[in-house]
Amino acid sequence: MDVSRNSRRVALTAAVLLLALAGCSSSGSGASSTPSATTAAPVSPSASAGGSAATGSQIVIEGFAYAPTTLTVGPGQKVTVLNHDSTAHTLTASDKSFDTGSIGPGKSGSFTAPAKPGSYPYICTIHQFMHGTLTVR
Ligand SMILES: [Cu+2]
């Protein structure tokens, strides 16, 4: 009876000591490593970083190419198209659901995005190798 009571007390004391040691060491290393790991979080790495995909309401034509080539807009959103080239271009949906008509050099045009969500490829009807995609969602 005496023996078991003694050993129980010893075990309890050892456990308390271990807890104290563990608490001490973990709080020590945690304090020194946490700040450097969490401070360098930038703004979310989202669509605009890619360069060819973007969300917005403007497309620029330059060097016989659309920029961005893939644009995401809301249903019915008005999109402005700027022509920076020295020749006329159009931005015309392959299914004709939108069309800027001919945009002269240095001029701008616009179109209204379809109301139905989906992916709409478009081309320049004058230079049909020019193409891009409008995503509505
Ligand atoms: Cu063109």
Mean pLDDT for the stretch of residues 31-42: 45
Q: What does the block give as tokens for 80?
A: 């402005």
- What is the C-alpha separation between 121 and 106, in angstroms, rounded? 24
52-136 to CATH, choices 1.20.1050.10, 3.40.605.10, 2.60.40.420, 3.40.47.10: 2.60.40.420
- What is the C-alpha separation between 44 and 110, in angstroms, rounded? 30
Break the chain into its structural domains and give their ranges.
52-136
pLDDT at residue 9, as a whole number: 58
pLDDT tens for residues 57-115? 999 999 999 999 999 999 999 999 999 999 999 999 999 999 999 999 999 999 999 99
**pLDDT at residue 48 is higher than 80:** no
Tell how far the Cα of 38 is from the centroid of ligand 1, in angstroms: 48
pLDDT at residue 35, as a whole number: 45
Tell how far the Cα of 119 is from the centroid of ligand 1, in angstroms: 21
pLDDT at residue 55, as a whole number: 76
Max CA distance (Å), the chain = 102
- Helices and strands per DSSP (H, E), number in the chain: 1, 9
Q: How many residues are recorded in the chain?
A: 137
pLDDT at residue 54, as a whole number: 77
Tell how far the Cα of 132 is from the centroid of ligand 1, in angstroms: 12
- What is the C-alpha separation between 119 and 113, in angstroms, rounded? 11
Identify the residue whose tokens are 């002269």.
104
Tell how far the Cα of 108 is from the centroid of ligand 1, in angstroms: 13
pLDDT tens for residues 6-17? 555 555 445 444
Mean pLDDT for the stretch of residues 103-131: 98
Q: Which band of pLDDT confidence, cut at 50, 70 and 90, is reported for residue 134?
A: very high
